[in-house]
Structure 1
Amino acid sequence: MAYYTLRNGPVGRVLAGDRGATRRKVAVSPWLRPLGGGAVALVLPLSLLALWTLSAAFEWLPPQILPAPADVEHGLVEMWRSGDLAKHTAISLLRVVYGFSIGAIVGLALGVAMGLSRTVEDYTRPLFTAFAQVPTLGWIPLLMLLVGIGEGLKILVIAKAAFVPMTMNSFAGIRSVPPAYGEVAALYRFNRWQLLRQVMLPGAIPPIFTGVRYGLTHAWMALVAVELLASSEGLGYLLVWGRQMFWLDAVMIAMVLIGIVGFGLDKVMAIIERRLQRWRFADGARGGRA
C-alpha cells in the first residue's frame, strides 16, 4: 500500500533513521488505578448522573426544567419504539456523510495543491484566509438566499465546516515533509505522480488525518446548528421541537445522542488513523524500548 511505501520503499530505506513519535504514558491517580483505564473515564459521567438523580429526587429544580432520569429513560424508550429517534439520527448522519465528503475532498485537493506549488498558494491563500475567517454560521443567511432552506443548505454548510480544517492541515502536512525525502526520490527518478503518491502523501498522513478528525467534528457541530435554524428533520430539529413543546426529556435525549454520535465518529476516525499509520506507531514503540 502507498502508506507503507515511505517506510519500506527506497526512500524509507535511505532515511531509516527517522523514527516515529513514541507513545506517551498517561499517569493515573493511585485512587483510580484499581478501576482500570476504561473505567476511569466513567467516573465523571456517573458522578453527574448521581447529582442529576439527587437533584430530581429532592426537587432542587422544578421537573419542568430538569426532568428525572426515569422520565428521560421512558421518553427514550418511547421514541425508539416509535422509530422517530432512528429516523432523525439516520437523516443527520446522511447529511454529514454528504457534506463532509464534499468538503474533505475539495479541502484535500486545495491543501495539497497549495503545499506543492508556491504559485497556487500565492493565488489562493489570501482568498482562502478571508473565506475561513467568516464563521460557518455566518454563511447561512447568504446561502439561504442562494439555495433556499432545503437539503442543499445543510450540505453546503457542513461542507464549508469540513473544508477549512481539511485544507489547512493538508497544506501543513505537505509542507512538513522533509526536503530530504524529495531529494532521495529525485535520485530514484520518481516522476511527479510517484513523488506525490509514494512520498508526499504518505509523509503528510498525520496532519491530514488531524484535518479529517477536526473536519468531521466541525461538520457534526455545523449540522446541529443548521438543523436548529432551518430543518424539519434531524437531531437538531428534535432540540427545537422539544423546546417548543416544552418536553425537556426530548431535549435532553437529543443532546445526549448528539454527544454520543459525535464521540463515536471521532473514535472511528481514530481507529482508522491508527490502522493506516500502524507502521509509525510500531516504529515509535520500538524506539521507546531501544
Structure 2
Amino acid sequence: MQKMAIPALNAAGPASPTTHPLEPRPDLPARRVAAARTKASWTWAGRSLWAWPFPLAVLALWQLSAIWGWVPEQVLPPPAAVFKVFGELLASGELWGHLRISMVRVFAGFGIGLSLGLLLGGAMGLSPTFRDYVFPLFKAFSQVPVIGWLPVLILVVGIDEALKFLLIAKAALVPVAINTCQGIQNVPNRLVEVARVYGFTRWQMLRKVVFPAATAPIWNGVRYGLTHAWLALVVVELLASSEGIGFLIVYGRQLFQLDVVLAAVLAVGIVGFVIDKLLAVSEAWLLRWRKPGL
C-alpha cells in the first residue's frame, strides 16, 4: 500500500515554530530523546538522595546506643571499632585473602549455574513439549532451599570445593532458568509474525527477534542468579569451610570478636552492592539500542 504523504502547508520555506500542527517535525524525536534522558537523570538523582537518610539514621542510632550504653559493647561494638577492625583487616591483607577465595568460588559456581540455567530455560521457552515434561520437576527442585541439599551433597561429594560449587550453581541456576524461559515466552507475537512474513529461517528468528526481545528478562535472571550465588556462598562457608569470608564470620563469632564479625558482614554487603551495580551498568550497555522510556 502506497503511503500517503502529508502535504506541506507552508510553501514559503522550511518549517517554523508557527507551522501547522499536522506538518511533520523532524526535530521532535531528538527532543523527546533528550527530554527522556533529562527526566531519567533527575529521577536517578532524586532516588539516590532518598536512599541516604535511612542508613544514616541507622548509623546514628547505632552510635547513640554505643555512647549511652543501650547495648553492651561485647554484643554490639561501636561503629568506630568496627571500621577500625575493617581497616586493619584490609591493611594486613587477611580480608583480601578471604575475599579472593570467596570470589573464585562464587564465579566458578555461578558459571556452572549460568550455563545450565540458560540451556534449561532456553529449551523450556522454545519447546512447549519439553517444558511440559521438565517444568514440574524443575519447579519441585527449585522449591528446596540451598541448605536442604547440603546433607545429600556432603554424602555424595564430601566437604571439599565441589560441594561449594554445586550449591552455588543451584542457587544461580533457578532464577536464570525461570527468567530465560519467561523472557522467551513473552516475546510479542507481532514480532514473530513480521519475521515470518519476511521469510526468516529459524536461526534468523532466534538471532534477530527472540533473543534481542528477551535480553532484558534474561539479564534480570543473570543479576538475580549472581546475587543468589553470592548469598549462597556466604551460607555455605558459614557451615562447611576453613577459609573465605563466611569462615571469617564464623571465626569471629567463635572467639566472640563481634567487631570482626561485623567487619566481615560489612565486606559482604559492599562486595554484593558493587557486583549488582556492575551488572546494572552492563545491562544499560547491552540494552543501549532501546529508546529511552520504552
TM-score by length of 1: 0.83
Q: Counterpart of 2:155?
A: 145
Partner of 1:188: 198
Displacement of 1:38 in angstroms is 3.4
| Structure with the higher helix share, 1 or 2 | 1
Find 1:82's aligned residue among 80, 92, 99. 92
Residue from 232, 235, 252 that aligns with 1:242: 252
Cα deviation per residue 1:19-64 (whole Å; 9 max; x = unaligned)? xxx8987999xxxxxx965343222222222211111112111111
Structure 2 Cα separation of the partners of residues 174 and 71 of structure 1: 50
Question: Within 2, Cα distance between the matches of 1:69 and 1:279?
Answer: 45
Identity of aligned residues (%): 54
Q: Max radius of gyration: which structure?
A: 2
Task: Select the structure with the greater relative contact order (CA < 8 A; seq sep ≥ 6).
Answer: 1
Amino acid of the structure 1 residue aligned with 2:140: A
2:86–2:264 Cα contact (<8 Å) kept: no
- Which residue is 1:284 aligned to? 293
1:36/1:121 CA distance change after superposition, 3 Å: closer
Which residue, out of 127, 130, 151, partners 1:120?
130
Q: Counterpart in 2 of 1:6?
A: none
Q: CA 1:36–1:174 in 2, change beyond 3 Å: closer, same or farther? A: closer
Superposition pairs for residues 1-290 of structure 1, below 5 Å? 37-280=47-290, 282-284=291-293
Counterpart amino acid of 1:109?
L
What is the CA deviation profile of residues 139-186 of structure 1, one whole-angstrom value per residue up to 9, with x for unaligned ones?
111111111111111111010001011111100000001122222222
How far did residue 187 of structure 1 move?
2.5
Inter-partner Cα distance in structure 2 for 1:241 and 1:101: 28
| Matched length | 257
| Aligned partners of 2:109 and 2:165 also within 8 Å | yes
> Structure 2 CA distance, aligned partners of 1:71 and 1:147?
40
The root-mean-square deviation of aligned C-alpha atoms, in Å, is 2.1
Q: Which runs of 5+ in 2 are unaligned?
A: 1-35
Aligned partner of residue 278 in structure 1, secondary structure: coil
Give the direction of change, closer, same or farther, for the CA distance of 1:224–1:178 in structure 2 (3 Å limit). same
| Helix, strand or coil at the partner of 2:277 | helix
C-alpha separation between the residues in 1 aligned to 2:96 and 2:40? Answer: 39
1:167-214 C-alpha deviation (Å, 9 max, x unpaired) = 111000000011222222222322222211111111101111111111
CA distance in 2 between partners of 1:211 and 1:275 (Å): 16
CA pair 221-77 structure 1, distance change in 2 beyond 3 A? same
What is the alpha-carbon distance in structure 2 between the residues aligned to residue 100 and residue 277 of structure 1?
Answer: 22
SS in 1 for 2:76: coil
Q: TM-score, structure 2 length as denominator?
A: 0.82
Query: How many Å separate the matches in 2 of 1:25 and 1:184?
Result: 32
Residue type of the alignment partner of 2:75: I
Cα displacement (A) at 1:96: 1.2
Q: Distance in 2 between matches of 1:46 and 1:184?
A: 53
